[in-house]
Amino acid sequence: MNLYVINFKGQTTVGELINPEKGSPGAAEDMEAAESFIQQAMEIILQEAVKKATNVKEKVCEWRSPEQLKELLDLELKDTGESESKILQCCRDAIRYSVKTGHPRFFNQLFAGMEPHSMVASFIIEAIKTSQYTYEMAPVFTLIEDVLLKTMMKLIGWEEGGDGLFNPGGSMSNMYAVNLARYRYCPDFKEIGIYASPRLVMLTSQEGHYSIAKAAALLGFGTKNVYVVPSDNRGKMIPSALEEKIQLAKSEGAVPFFVNATAGTTVLGAFDPIDEIANICEKHNLWLHVDACWGGGALVSKKHKHLLKGIQRVNSVAWNLHKMLMHAYYLILFKLFFFSFYKCLLQRCHCAGASYLFQQDKFYDVSYDTGDKSVQCSRKPDAFKFWLVWKAVGTRELEYRVDRALALARYLAQEIKKREGFRLVIEPEFANVCFWYIPPSLRNLPESPELWKKLHTVAPVVKERMMKKGSMMIGYQKHGDKPNFFRMVVISPQVSKQDLDFVLDEIHRLGKDL
């Protein structure tokens, strides 16, 4: 065991310290060593994970295969600790071989960019390391979550208010919505289970996120009881088809109880027609949830909020703050969940009333203890991150970021239409720009299954080459009967028109020989 480790535990031997009589004689030295380590690490983070990671002249990733990376890194955990310099090198390596999601050429996921306020807030949360079960444990963050929820409910248009919770992920938020809908349908299920229930059916569109199916499996409904509603060629749910599926379920003796509409689908960025869907749900008395994880950000934009027209009518909304609303949002695990229905539904649906945590004889108003609304026990105070960003930049800057991202997406779509060898899959409605790159060898072939089959192999190879070169990262996928195409997502305010031009040029450079 080396000096560094000994310093950290008080410059005494294990044998001596195990005797609690000794106390912590080296506490002051420990703290100095810890501080020095933290300071050095903070400098590495600033240089490598902030400055270098957002520099367009640097690589967006430094690809190594699993086998290569295992060789490069000393991952094994041992009996004795490593030196401070070795640990700092581990930190440098972890950053070096990780993907730079804040890089202006990173377009691989539905998050991107670097938001300094959000990053700082996340550091504070990690340093404070509390959990948001009770006001006692998280006074500041409890109030902040409340303010943020109320502000966002106003944006949704829920005049009567509502309730909500930051969850670790949009999938979890969608799952909460399904559970609340079930609770509304029959509160007794919480106690007796769904054994005696008629077959309950959930409805979502073919373009909806897979988390609805995961929720169906987890909550005991089964994936077969998710009825998939066809979407039109823009990727939007067809309301008449929803009506048909509801009738189908009823004719089978099943009970439809939950409809998921999507505001901003994952691949195409399509918005389901909420108003028309809400009419149908009202008629049949179904819970209407909107998965606005991706498209919710448009609510801050006067120009684009029409995409979610009717959202004030729905029962619940899942909204991922790290995605569109922040463009450059830093944190990827928290999402927001609202409902406008019963004031205490979240609490009633999920409470277990643990007496060691939610004592009712506290000296403050225990309605501020929000932990029992959650299916989790520990819960991170993630609201603080988004609150600090919003506080720092203001609503108008958030609006500006949404407007700018969508303007850039339009620009990219125009460029794709202009350039030879590029073809849009669909005219973009949001920030997703889906397109094929057709290498010269395929350009003069007639449209045929043969051509599609060949085209299907292009994107994976271009992706492999961009990763190995480290020049950019863009996602691709097949979709329905469509062969593999690229999905560009324009989010970060740090992305320029030049970056988008680069993407198209680079795809051609990497794929022109295919």
Q: How far is the CB of 148 from its own copies (least distance, A)?
A: 7
> Which of 185, 219, 180, 166 lies closest to 340, judged by CA?
180
Which residue number, 239 or 287, has a Cβ lying nearer to its own copies? 287
Which residue number, 59 or 117, has a Cβ lying nearer to its own copies? 117
Q: How far is the CB of 410 from its own copies (least distance, A)?
A: 8
Q: How far is the CB of 5 from its own copies (least distance, A)?
A: 5
Which residue number, 441 or 498, has a Cβ lying nearer to its own copies? 498
Decide: 191 and 308 in contact? Cβ < 8 Å: no
- Exposure string of 107-138, with b = 16+ CB inside 10 Å and e = fewer, is bbbbbbbbbebbbebbeebeeeebbbbbbbbb
Q: How many other CB atoms are found less than 10 A from the CB of residue 431?
A: 27
User: Can you state the angle between helices 383-418 and 139-156, rounded to 10 degrees?
Assistant: 40
Q: How far is the CB of 135 from its own copies (least distance, A)?
A: 7
d(CA 285, CA 184): 11
- Exposure string of 32-59, with b = 16+ CB inside 10 Å and e = fewer, is ebeeebeeeeeebbeebbeebbbeeeeb
Which residue number, 245 or 335, has a Cβ lying nearer to its own copies? 335
> Which residues are CB-contacts of 54 (< 8 A; sequence separation ≥ 6)?
100, 102, 103, 104, 114, 494
Q: How many other CB atoms are found less than 10 A from the CB of residue 471?
A: 17
Which residue number, 387 or 435, has a Cβ lying nearer to its own copies? 387
Which residue number, 18 or 418, has a Cβ lying nearer to its own copies? 18
DSSP-assigned letter for residue 367: G
Pairing assessment for the beta strands 255-262 and 226-229 based on DSSP bridges = unpaired
Q: How far is the CB of 182 from its own copies (least distance, A)?
A: 8
Q: How far is the CB of 275 from its own copies (least distance, A)?
A: 28
d(CA 242, CA 249): 11
Which residue number, 227 or 390, has a Cβ lying nearer to its own copies? 390
